[in-house]
Structures are given as structure tokens and as C-alpha cells.
Chains A and B, each alone.
Chain A
Amino acid sequence: MAPAKPGDAAFANVDHVNAELFTLTYGAMVRQLLTDFEDVEEVNKQLDTMGYNIGIRLIDDFLSKANVTRCSEFRETADVIAKIGFKMFLGVTATVSNWNADFTECSLVLDDNPLVDFVELPETCQGLYYCNVLCGVIRGALEMVSMRTEVKWARDMLRGDDAYELRLKLIEHVAEEYPYKDDD
């Protein structure tokens, strides 16, 4: 599989952190958000916003370390995210599947999710998308490469489903525009 090797190479190139420390830190953050905001929907939104802020910075880190050329179409983009992006930053791979007819929507199914080790959602938080930060990260990163997208969780094991599946939808390509007025 051609894309697997650059993913592993990129993973080997970055600094590693202890997985449990990462999981526990993320868990503490979600707990604190729940205490501060108290409303599950609001916490979902905050996680998405935080992910967005991470994504717009992460894209430069990714581009500088992963050595990928520009993607010519959305299919390639989804593959790069699944095989190289996830591998580089989370150490797991995802599979791309369920393309729609005109190749603007697809599903990313994660093999494993290090954010949710040891986690069990209590009854009071059943509406919570615990890993919503990942949706924001992908949305933010793609926006910086001229793609406006919508990313949502289709299946979440913490809510009783059998896998972690993200639904990635391309809304439009934003063309590069000359930002200054011509007469200046």
C-alpha cells in the first residue's frame, strides 16, 4: 500500500508523547469543559471550536513534515488525511469508505481511538460527542488549503455504536483571490 509508508515515515519523524498522558490530559479537559459550561451541546461546540483552532495551525506542521504534494482532488485529500494525517498525529490509521455519487462525501473509519482509552460516558452526558475536537481539527486544516467542509460523527463507540466513523463532506473549493483592489 503506497500511502502507508509515508504515514509511518511521518510518524517516525515527529516527537512522541506518552499515550496515557495524552488521553488523561484530554479527559481532564473535557471534564473541565463540562463543569464550566454544564450544557452538553455547548461543550460539543467548544470542542469543535478548539479543534478548529488546532487545525488551522496543524496544517502547516503537517505540510512541513509529511512531504506530500498538493492534492488534485478530494479523494486524494481524504486518503492523505486517513493514512498520513491520522498516523502522524495520533498513531492510528483510518480507512476511507462510503463515497457518494459525485465524490464529495465520504466516511473515515478509525481503527482505534487513543482519546477514548478508559472512558465511559455517564448517563448525564449521553449527548456528548467526546471526540468532537477531531471534527474541528479536520475542518480547520482543510479550510487553510482552500476547502470548506463539514465534519460530523456518524458512529461513536462511546454512544453504543460499533466503530468510530467520521462523515466528511466537501462543501466547496474556495479559489484563491487577489485580496487588494486593482486601483490601489
Chain B
Amino acid sequence: MILCVAIVGQQNNPLYLQSFAGGDDVLKFHYIVHCSLDVFDEKASILRRTGTNLNDNFLGLLYPAEDYKVYGYMTNTRVKFVLVTSDLELKDLDIKTFFQRFHAAYIDVTSNPFHVPGKRIASPMFRDRVKTIVSSFGQL
């Protein structure tokens, strides 16, 4: 089950965090996402060195912990998406599709002329859209 999704900006500033695990412990998710940021840079530089060009954006499993897994996705503008899930068996393909849909929703919300890049995303429409994407996760 997806516990939380987050968006972090270019300067590692938090742009968005939505938790689906019951409301409390949002701080724990902030902490998890923050810790995963180091892994982002490491993974990104590894991929660059090995020269893989396919699916540059999807960085795969960032780090596993006892009761959850963290996946990462970085766009070409160095905006990072983080997915925290408690499911231990998840197909990479499902996660990639999820991130692509999430990326599309992110593009739409940043195209709003009233959105200031770098500020937190507070749009109720985006929140609803993310909820839909999360609930249809895994179902093709």
C-alpha cells in the first residue's frame, strides 16, 4: 500500500507531501523523504557514469527499510518525486507507470499561471488527482 508521495524541488526544498497512511506521523514521512535525498544524488551520478540513457528519470529503489520501501524519480529539471510504500513486492513497471502519471499531474499543476515555481503546491485539484492516481495504482 502506498504510504506517502512527495515532491522535492531543485534546491531540496519540499514542494508537496501527501500521506495516505492515516494522517498522523506526517513528520516521520518528512524525515524519510529527507533522508532519501542523499541517495538521489548518488543514484543519479551512478546512472550517468554507466551511460544508461533509457528511463533516465526513474531511479528505482532508493533504500529499503524494515517495514517500507522508498522509490525515486527525478525529472530533467532536477525536481524529485519520492514514493514510500509498505508493499514488499512491487513490479518496477507499475512504479514507473505511477511516476509517469504523477509527472503528468505535476506538469499540469505547474502550468497554472498562478503557480509560483519553488513555492509549495496547495492546489485542491492536484490533491484529488494524486488521490485518484494512488487509488488506481497497480490496477491497469
Contact = CB atoms under 8 A, between A and B. Distances in A.
In the complex they form, whether A and B have CB atoms below 8 Å apart is answered with: yes
Contacts of B112: 27, 118-120
B114 A122 contact: yes
Give the size category of A's interface with B: 10 to 19
A14 interface: no
A154 interface: no
A115 B111 CA distance: 12
A31 B111 contact: no
B55 interface: no
B93 interface: no
A89 to B, nearest CB: 21
Contacts of A120: 112, 114, 123, 125
Interface string B100-112: 0000000011011
A18 to B, nearest CB: 13
Nearest to A26: B113
A20 B125 CA distance: 19
A117 B114 contact: no
Interface in B74-108: 108
A71 interface: no
Contacts of A122: 114
A87 to B, nearest CB: 25
- Among A23, A28, A118, the most chain B Cβ lie within 10 Å of the Cβ of A118
B113 A28 contact: yes
Interface string A16-44: 00001001101110110000000000000
A23 B111 CA distance: 9
A24 B115 CA distance: 12
A125 interface: yes
Contacts of A119: 112-114
Contact of A121 (B108, B109, B111, B114): B114
A125 B111 contact: no
Interface string B53-78: 00000000000000000000000000
Nearest to B115: A120
Contacts of B114: 27, 31, 119-122, 125
Interface of B: 108-109, 111-114, 123, 125
7 nearest interchain CB pairs?
Answer: A27-B113, A118-B111, A31-B113, A118-B112, A122-B114, A120-B112, A118-B108
Given A23-B111, A118-B111, A120-B125, 13 more contacts: A20-B111, A27-B114, A28-B113, A31-B113, A117-B111, A118-B112, A118-B113, A119-B112, A119-B113, A120-B112, A120-B114, A120-B123, A122-B114
20 contacts: A20-B111, A23-B111, A24-B111, A26-B113, A27-B112, A27-B113, A27-B114, A28-B113, A30-B113, A31-B113, A117-B111, A118-B108, A118-B111, A119-B112, A119-B114, A120-B114, A120-B123, A120-B125, A121-B114, A122-B114
